Amino acid sequence: MEQEHYKGLLIIYTGPGKGKTTAALGLGLRAVGNGLKVLMLQFIKGSWPSGEREAAELLPGFSIEAMGLGFTWDTRHTPEEHRQALLGAWERAKQAISSGDHDVVILDELNNAFNIANFPMGDILTPEAVIDFLSGRPPHVHVVITGRNAPQELLDKADLVTEMRDIKHPFHSGRGAVKGIDF
């Protein structure tokens, strides 16, 4: 029973409202303040600058790696290139989690990756594969998964699920992404 206290949690932030990645970053900040080591792997985001990566550089124990190629509607990359990037990100995730070197591993936008991975031909990264892998992870590792449309199988396995509801967002009144708020 007491052991349960030390068992890593599976945490999911999903839903259409803003705040999934920022919630995960806030959790990471808190963890680092408690002496834990945190790694965020960004599955979709590419290497363009972001405030979170700049800030993490200042914090020993907080690492962020952008593994993606950006949005899939950006036609500079082929679907196959996106698929390869996602697979690379998943390989990195598995290696980072099984090493046990990080107490908190955040798989940012992994949920979106499931949908992209299924496009355009066949499953290359499935919720089942992720669940299988996570069930054998080192017990102390907390895993946070973000992104819209979390698959039901993952929700069933998670210890903590929060769904962000979209009540209002400046995007709907025509405002683009805001520096310091959205990136």
CA dist., res. 137 & res. 98, Å (int): 6
- 104-108 vs 10-14, strand pairing mode: unpaired
Least separation in angstroms between residue 17's CB and ligand ATP is 5
Identify the H or E element spanning 105.
Answer: strand 104-108
**Phi, psi (5° rounding) for residue 136?**
-105, 15
The 3-42 site mask, x for binding Mg ion (CB under 5 A), equals -----------------xx---------------------
Instruction: Name the closest residue to Mg ion (Cβ).
Output: 21
Residue among 140, 169, 175, 179 that touches ligand ATP (CB under 6 A):
169
Least separation in angstroms between residue 102's CB and ligand ATP is 20
Residue among 8, 11, 21, 96 that touches ligand ATP (CB under 6 A):
21
Rule CB under 6 A: is residue 50 a binding residue for ligand ATP?
A: no
Half-sphere exposure of 160 (CA within 13 A, CB side): 13
| CA-wise closest residue to 70 among 105, 41, 43 | 43
Instruction: Name the closest residue to ligand ATP (Cβ).
Output: 21
Q: How would you list the strands of the sheet with 160-163, edge to edge?
A: 62-66, 38-42, 104-108, 142-146, 10-14, 160-163
**Number of residues in contact with Mg ion, rule: CB under 5 A?**
2
**Number of residues in contact with ligand ATP, rule: CB under 6 A?**
16
DSSP SS3 for 31: helix
Least separation in angstroms between residue 15's CB and ligand ATP is 8
Rule CB under 6 A: is residue 17 a binding residue for ligand ATP?
A: yes
Residues at the site binding ligand ATP, with contacts judged by CB under 6 A: 16-22, 109, 146, 148, 164, 166, 169, 171, 177, 182
